[in-house]
Structure 1
Amino acid sequence: MTKKAGLAGFLLLSLAVLNTFADRNDKEVLKRISSIEVVALDSVDGYEKRYRIPNENLNDLFAEKIDSLLNSWYMQNVFEMPVGEALQDSQPIVAIPDSVYINRLQAIDSYIDLSYNKTVKNFIELYTQRRRDQVEMMLGLASFYFPIFEEALDKYDLPMELKYMAIIESALNPTARSRANAVGLWQFMYGTGKWLGLEIGTFVDERRDPVKSTDAAARYLSQLYKIYKNWHLVIAAYNCGPGNVNKAIRRSGGTRDYWAIYYRLPRETRGYVPAFIAASYVMNYYNEHSLKARYPDFPIVTDTIMINSYLHFDQVSALTNIPVEALQALNPQYRMNIIPAKKEKHYALKIPIESVADFIDNEDQIYAYKRDEFFPNNEIINPKSRNSYHVSSVSGKDKVLYTVKSGDNLGFISEWFHVRISDLRYWNNINRNLIRVGQKLAIYVPQGQADFFAKINRMSFAEKQAYKKKTPVTKAVSASTQTSADGKFVYYTVRRGDNLWSIARKFPGVSNNDIMRWNNIRNANKIQVGQKLKIQTRS
């Protein structure tokens, strides 16, 4: 992600020195790039303008972002990755007439001009045909994030379609980090984030907070619009900074038209507005391309609890039965699973709505649970320090050796073996998170489970991702299940403290959405103790 300018970028607007001459590189670009006629669809005034702009294929810039997402730790942990599922992205490209795209774009109620040209078409094909799997994940994530975006945009009286910018910025991955170290759903650089009032520290990075980062993005967009009064220029300036847009305007004779200054913008920004238009298209017409939302495997309906003292995710998980992975997915702003709250500074914790009552009923016990272990002397300590966390005892545990494979990282390995990253570091004398392919890691698992975890060494990456949710059958689980006569289903008896999320975690490859579908459940809060749920087991 190109660095976004902060206050300094806005000060550039007041400079009186104008440069009306293009530099040599700009002239060479103009010579190299051929032009095609483009129709700009103005849905506000209802008339068409015609421009001559480059016919460029800039898909490589954004395809790389989307591809990096598929193998990110976040995506692998909030989506089910069934073993052996074939990717759709290898399907042949189907030619669709330009008139179809133009008519559909014209039909979208958009305050922002949705122009159509060859570059836009290339991005539409990227989203609808070349990266179908990733787009289906984004469609699922949109059901969680778009309401947050829309509330902020409404607060600042901004066009709702600006929510599609986050698709281009991060592919709706709140933990996304660019090569330039821009972070979060809205990809803020450190300086810009601090300038907009976001907290960025050891334990909290509000660039990753969906609510606070979205509010900051809306404020930033609002300020940019006061300067440019043109949404295409605002979107471009969000990507490359006002300084680069101002230079492009000056070098184009002062015109404030995105397509007229197109040649003068950085390459990534030249693709940014077309990619935005394509994202607007696919989010409105995904059904016409047989795209179906893949919903994330974390509770989408949530509520917020205000925390007023130091709290670790493990404390919450132990007494509410909310898996730590769910807490991480819902609260990505907490970098070390620690909420550094104090009486004078409270922090928000999102939890599944069905678990709110459990948290409130057990709030004192949650704060007190293993308090001395997580916060000795009631002080917060940096978990990265060798002596700053409690190391799990290896007494009475079985040792398993795991050989590091290409693509592995400590986050994945800790999930597969159900251990903490801090323990992996301690057991293997790992500095930071540095591991190498072929390295053998010693991992200590509960006694009697060595054979169960040893199988992981022989699995593919996809198999390990599916296997991570499988646990050795315990008496509690087996006593609560019975197999159907045909062996295709098991019937799980709901126990006290269960919710659909915790039940799904007992069965590999099963999500809470699957359980709702198999049992015709419309309200996840309505399951009752003693109720039998039909579950289709997956190997």
Structure 2
Amino acid sequence: MRKGLGILVVLVSFTIQNVFAKRIEKAAIKRIRTIEVVALDSVQGYQKKYVTPDENLNDIFAEKIDSLVNSWYMRNVFDRPERIENQDSIPIVSLPDSIYIERLQAIDSYVDLSFNKTVKNFIELYTQRRRDQVEMMLGLAGYYFPIFEEELDRLDMPLELKYMAIIESALNPAARSRANAVGLWQFMYGTGKMYKLEIGTFVDERRDPVKSTKAAARYLNDLYRIYKNWHLVIAAYNCGPGNVNKAIRRSGGARDYWSIYYRLPRETRGYVPAFIAAAYVMTNYEKHNLQPRYPDFPIVADTMMVNSYLHFKQVAEITQVPIEVLRALNPQYRMDIIPAKADKPYVLKIPIETVADFIDNEEEIYAFKRDEFFPNNSIINPQSRSTYYPTDIKGKDKVIYTVKSGDNLGFISEWYHVGVSDLRYWNNIHRNLIRVGQKLSIYVPAGQADFYADVNRMSFSDKQAFKKKTPVTKAGSTSQQVTKSGEFVYYTVRRGENLWSIARKFPGVSNNDIIRWNDINNGKKIFPGQKLKIKPRS
């Protein structure tokens, strides 16, 4: 989103648009439950109104959606995806246009949900090409959508604007674009400051779900005062009012999105169709056999006011809330530190069931290792951002182990061939205390997740025998399965592998590269013993 043009541009744009408005007839732009259809097949009762937008812009948004799975934040609030595979190779099964139109018409929407081939391409991207990522977004929506809806309702704005965050960030509060737009609503630094978001060393409120939503709603309201058309507002949110104004001028003063469509930047041309497709899939996901995958942090949380310096580790040690949960609920704190003072309090979100424990032990929490975290009651020598990019897990596979009766950290470390100190660090364990049913995050070398996949289901005696087995390391497993011939190597597929897991063993190689090099038509149908041609990146 390129929104750094500032409020000055917004005000100038307002004047320009008033000039345009005098030159054209005033028309009813807002229609409730009306769909302007640019149909690809014959649908009785609908009339073609515009030149049909017929572009496939999926590449822009597919990359953004894919970044959801690949980000450190999402890998740590979700278990490892069950089917991240060569999705682009899956054949598309198209439904008749009339079905999509009927389903769009059934959505109660104040924002027009137009239909055309570009919209259809995005619907198929969401429902077929990127099913895993969409299921993750469906799960995250249960936490974030109520936040969005409350603020939109407070300002009497269409609640369906909540779907914009799907297009902006794929509901990843830690998202950062190539242009350095940050957060759920992808604010640039200047626009964030303009809308009073704090952006500093310890706090970045562009990542704060509540405050960034308030800022985004105000920005959308400012844009609506200019355009009085939600499609144009959505477009301007993406590319800035200046680009929308130029498109209007070049289109002879037309004030309809589809009329200025081909005058807009390429990404913005896909923005409104992607928004409409998001509204479709978030409403009709069950009809496409999509199921929400919920994040591994509490959906129900409460807010505590913090009036003094506080480190996440202080809270985690006393309340036994995993530090990863605190980070997931409070993504705005960049270094696990809340720099609160009596005259400048901050909020801390914690699981609802922990509130009483926090209140009862508040003094102990603040006092715990106070001199270690805040010598002389000051913040000094802050750690680098290891909270989101810890060096000890970089490039490793994450596996989850559920603690059983009789387990201890010594046993678990032997079964997974990791250090006890690593287990403590990864799971914020104090004094080796673990409880039955607790889920432990364990990081093993890349390519070894399949080797450890069955440990969770083994009996104690089987696990004791398993610890004597030599783990298949990334280098070992790859070298044993790779033969070289010229610029290519030939990799022998093992049982349980897919193109996504194989690609991870070769830095810089994607599953789509493997598909292209081997002329694979259906990436789901690779088999053990098959030899794949791969060109390693230098």
**TM-score, structure 2 length as denominator?**
0.70
Matches within 5 A, 1:17-416: 38-39=38-39, 50-81=49-80, 85=83, 87=85, 89=87, 91-384=90-383, 410=391, 412-413=393-394
User: Which amino acid letter does the alignment assign opposite residue 256 of structure 2?
Assistant: D
Q: Which structure 2 residue ranges, 5 or more long, are not aligned?
A: 21-36, 400-408, 444-454, 459-538
- Following superposition, the deviation at residue 505 of structure 1 comes to 2.3
Matching residue of 2:12: 12
Q: Verify the 8 A CA contact 1:182 1:188 in the aligned structure 2.
A: yes
Alignment CA distance shift 1:310-1:136 (3 Å): same
CA distance in 2, matches of 1:151, 1:472: 38
- Following superposition, the deviation at residue 2 of structure 1 comes to 3.1
Partner SS state of residue 50, structure 2: strand
Q: Verify the 8 A CA contact 1:3 1:180 in the aligned structure 2.
A: no
CA distance in 2, matches of 1:377, 1:332: 27
Over residues 481-507 of structure 1, what are the superposed CA-to-partner deviations in whole Å (9 max), with x where a residue is unaligned?
A: xxxxxxxxxxx4xxxxxxxxxx43258
Partner SS state of residue 52, structure 1: coil
Q: Verify the 8 A CA contact 1:203 1:335 in the aligned structure 2.
A: yes
CA distance in 2, matches of 1:373, 1:417: 30
User: Which amino acid letter does the alignment assign opposite residue 13 of structure 1?
Assistant: S
Q: Which structure 1 residue ranges, 5 or more long, are not aligned?
A: 21-36, 41-45, 390-407, 419-445, 457-463, 481-491, 493-502, 510-535
CA distance in 2, matches of 1:17, 1:354: 52
User: How many residues end up aligned between the 2 structures?
Assistant: 412
Q: Verify the 8 A CA contact 1:169 1:186 in the aligned structure 2.
A: yes
Q: Verify the 8 A CA contact 1:69 1:173 in the aligned structure 2.
A: yes
CA distance in 2, matches of 1:147, 1:259: 31
Matched, 1:505 2:460: no
User: Which amino acid letter does the alignment assign opposite residue 96 of structure 1?
Assistant: L
**TM-score, structure 1 length as denominator?**
0.70
CA distance in 1, matches of 2:214, 2:374: 32
Q: Verify the 8 A CA contact 1:123 1:274 in the aligned structure 2.
A: yes
CA distance in 1, matches of 2:165, 2:198: 20
Q: Verify the 8 A CA contact 1:417 1:453 in the aligned structure 2.
A: no
Over residues 359-417 of structure 1, what are the superposed CA-to-partner deviations in whole Å (9 max), with x where a residue is unaligned?
A: 0000000000000000000001241479xx9xxxxxxxxxxxxxxxxxx9627349989
Partner SS state of residue 112, structure 2: coil
Alignment CA distance shift 1:184-1:371 (3 Å): same
Over residues 104-146 of structure 1, what are the superposed CA-to-partner deviations in whole Å (9 max), with x where a residue is unaligned?
A: 1111110000000000000000000000000000000000000
- Following superposition, the deviation at residue 4 of structure 1 comes to 4.2
Alignment CA distance shift 1:92-1:157 (3 Å): same
CA distance in 2, matches of 1:417, 1:199: 33
- Following superposition, the deviation at residue 50 of structure 1 comes to 1.1
CA distance in 1, matches of 2:370, 2:125: 50
Matching residue of 1:495: none
- Following superposition, the deviation at residue 87 of structure 1 comes to 3.8
Partner SS state of residue 305, structure 2: strand
- Following superposition, the deviation at residue 469 of structure 1 comes to 6.4
Alignment CA distance shift 1:326-1:472 (3 Å): closer
Q: Verify the 8 A CA contact 1:88 1:133 in the aligned structure 2.
A: no
CA distance in 1, matches of 2:121, 2:175: 24
User: Which amino acid letter does the alignment assign opposite residue 73 of structure 2?
Assistant: Y
- Following superposition, the deviation at residue 49 of structure 1 comes to 5.7
- Following superposition, the deviation at residue 95 of structure 1 comes to 1.7
User: Which amino acid letter does the alignment assign opposite residue 6 of structure 2?
Assistant: G
Matching residue of 1:498: none
CA distance in 1, matches of 2:138, 2:71: 17
User: Which amino acid letter does the alignment assign opposite residue 2 of structure 1?
Assistant: R
- Following superposition, the deviation at residue 12 of structure 1 comes to 3.1
Alignment CA distance shift 1:356-1:414 (3 Å): farther
User: Which amino acid letter does the alignment assign opposite residue 324 of structure 1?
Assistant: I
Partner SS state of residue 291, structure 2: coil
- Following superposition, the deviation at residue 449 of structure 1 comes to 8.4
Partner SS state of residue 286, structure 1: helix
CA distance in 1, matches of 2:48, 2:339: 54
User: Which amino acid letter does the alignment assign opposite residue 102 of structure 2?
Assistant: N
Alignment CA distance shift 1:468-1:415 (3 Å): farther
CA distance in 1, matches of 2:327, 2:456: 26
User: Which amino acid letter does the alignment assign opposite residue 412 of structure 1?
Assistant: I
Alignment CA distance shift 1:297-1:220 (3 Å): same
Alignment CA distance shift 1:164-1:19 (3 Å): same
Q: Verify the 8 A CA contact 2:197 2:206 in the aligned structure 1.
A: yes
Q: Verify the 8 A CA contact 1:176 1:187 in the aligned structure 2.
A: yes
Alignment CA distance shift 1:85-1:168 (3 Å): closer
User: Which amino acid letter does the alignment assign opposite residue 170 of structure 1?
Assistant: S
Alignment CA distance shift 1:201-1:382 (3 Å): farther
User: Which amino acid letter does the alignment assign opposite residue 10 of structure 1?
Assistant: V
Q: Verify the 8 A CA contact 2:152 2:158 in the aligned structure 1.
A: yes
Moved more, 90-99 or 269-278: 90-99
CA distance in 2, matches of 1:417, 1:508: 6
Alignment CA distance shift 1:473-1:126 (3 Å): farther
**Sequence identity, in percent?**
67
Moved more, 263-272 or 409-418: 409-418
- Following superposition, the deviation at residue 38 of structure 1 comes to 1.6
CA distance in 1, matches of 2:237, 2:8: 14
CA distance in 2, matches of 1:472, 1:414: 26
CA distance in 1, matches of 2:212, 2:14: 28
Q: Verify the 8 A CA contact 2:3 2:239 in the aligned structure 1.
A: yes
Matching residue of 2:2: 2
Over residues 161-192 of structure 1, what are the superposed CA-to-partner deviations in whole Å (9 max), with x where a residue is unaligned?
A: 00000000000000000000000000000000
Over residues 188-240 of structure 1, what are the superposed CA-to-partner deviations in whole Å (9 max), with x where a residue is unaligned?
A: 00000000000000000000000000000011111111110000000000000
CA distance in 1, matches of 2:418, 2:428: 12
User: Which amino acid letter does the alignment assign opposite residue 5 of structure 2?
Assistant: A
CA distance in 1, matches of 2:267, 2:219: 20
Alignment CA distance shift 1:409-1:102 (3 Å): same
Q: Verify the 8 A CA contact 1:73 1:412 in the aligned structure 2.
A: no
Alignment CA distance shift 1:92-1:468 (3 Å): farther
Matches within 5 A, 1:444-455: 454=417
CA distance in 1, matches of 2:396, 2:151: 34
